[in-house]
Chain A
Amino acid sequence: MFMTTKPVAASMKPFSSIVKFGNVTVPSSSQYETGLWNISFGLNPGELLLVRIERENERLPLADVTEGLVPPAHGTVTFLGDDWQRLSADHAAAQRGKIGRLFEDEGWISDLDVDENIVLAQRHHTQRTEEEIREEALKFARMFGLPGLPRGRPGKVRRWDLRKAACIRAFLGQPMLIILEQPVRGVYADFMAPLLNAVQSARTHGAAVLWTVTDPQIWNNSGIRAASRAKMLGSELRMMEPD
């Protein structure tokens, strides 16, 4: 296990892109509504890629492939300069500890309380004290309009609070890459401002952000200062002109 006091390891080898897709093709499977076809893009530190996905093809392997959970049939995906396919299981797990993700389908461990779910990855990957982790989580909780970290099992917590808790988890520990899978879906509009603040702050610290949307209103939101925008058309990713 690779234990660090902070998620960003000083001994990392030099890299230009945080994540880079090179001609990545993933065949469609029963797990997803479509595959990926010959996708190439790179995300540098501080950049945000906003990807609009089609409602009928919402379940894409894009986030899983970015995290090295699904191997591409063709092409390579590198994270911090390392090809996921060439990493050992332990090293890959440690690298995933540097990624914050807001799952499209919430993604909670049902037999842990929500607050335990939030701090779980930081507890596992870093040597930060519990107090330190919770203090940072609490700051995010207040930022997202929660009085504290939600307690109780995920099944017992309100949907809105769960979405905010998912955001806290995604931003906790200054991750190098933040994957936001439709973060504002089903949440009140007042959630957008703190989210944009958190995204901006993370980008200032050098994190790259991959944000997927289906809602045209979110896609057209001028507050999301994306470095690049792309549309998923079926299994193809079409890059758009920069903002």
Chain B
Amino acid sequence: MRSVFAQQLLLFGVESVRFILIVAVLVGISIVVQLDVWTGKLGQSQKLGPLLVVVVARELGPLFANFVLIVRGGSAITTELGLMKIGGEVRVLEAQGIEPLPFLVMPRVLAMAVSAFCLTVIFVLVAFASGFAFGAFIGRANPDPSVFVNSVFKAIHPFDAIGLLVKCLLPALLTAVICSTEGLGVEGGVTEVPLAAKRALARSLGALFITSATVSLLTYS
């Protein structure tokens, strides 16, 4: 089970780092700079920290991290488990007295959750750093990083950490469960596998946006 967990962590988490770094840099440049510019224009520069925390850390970080995980990991889970089911490998496990749920599903669920958390943290940190660096480069932000860091840290409340955790972990867990269920539910031939993957991706995306919206509503209300 540990080796399956390690494999999945490598597949979902480690191999997604480069992609999330690119997205985070681009988001950082566009969002952080925009916010810096507009808060400055409106004379509300002190609001930059809270806005960044709300937009990048609380909303975009978990959303992008989970989106990347669904595209890269979700489809992989469904395809892999679907092919294992069709190829009789799930039956082989059962015949050896190894239940598929703890052996196949649990490591994937855990790997998804750990990957979502790590990718979200990476996304948020890189987006902030790239945004600040680009803002400083074009002369729109205070070149002193401590001012930027202070404004962000002042805006973070313990409640934000809980919201961030829920927003990054819950969709990841749901994605792993949905994709595993779809994969293990494949019956018939190999042609059923891409159909299951398509269904799993649609449902996972739906779950991601619904979870994200619900947590946001609960946070703001």
Interface set of A (CB-CB < 8 Å, partner B): 63-64, 67, 69, 89-90, 92-97, 99, 101, 103, 105, 107-112, 116, 120-121, 124-125
Contacts and interface: CB of A to CB of B under 8 A. Distances in A.
A186 B3 CA distance: 32
Question: Shortest 8 CB-CB distances between A and B: which pairs?
Answer: A96-B97, A97-B97, A107-B92, A121-B96, A93-B97, A124-B98, A109-B89, A93-B99
Nearest to B8: A111
Interface in B1-45: 3-4, 7
B145 interface: no
A162 B84 CA distance: 18
B97 A121 contact: yes
A107 B91 CA distance: 8
Interface string B71-102: 00000000010001001110111111111000
Contacts of A93: 94, 97-99
Contacts of A116: 3
B91 A69 contact: yes
A116 B165 CA distance: 35
A108 B97 contact: no
Interface of B: 3-4, 7, 80, 84, 87-89, 91-99, 103
A144 B96 CA distance: 22
Contacts of B92: 103, 107-109
Nearest to A117: B92
A69 B98 contact: no
A156 B93 CA distance: 20
A120 B98 contact: yes
Given A107-B88, A107-B89, 17 more contacts: A69-B91, A69-B94, A69-B95, A96-B94, A108-B92, A109-B92, A109-B93, A110-B87, A110-B89, A111-B80, A120-B96, A120-B98, A121-B96, A121-B97, A121-B98, A124-B97, A124-B103
A64 B95 contact: yes
A212 to B, nearest CB: 15
Contacts of A107: 88-89, 91-92, 95
Contacts of A94: 97
Contacts of A63: 95
Nearest to A122: B96
B15 to A, nearest CB: 15
Contacts of B94: 69, 93, 96
A101 B88 CA distance: 14
A112 B107 CA distance: 14
Contacts of A121: 96-98
Nearest to B94: A69
B7 A111 contact: yes
Nearest to A179: B95
A125 B4 CA distance: 17
Nearest to B103: A124
Nearest to B83: A110
Contacts of A67: 95
Contacts of B7: 111
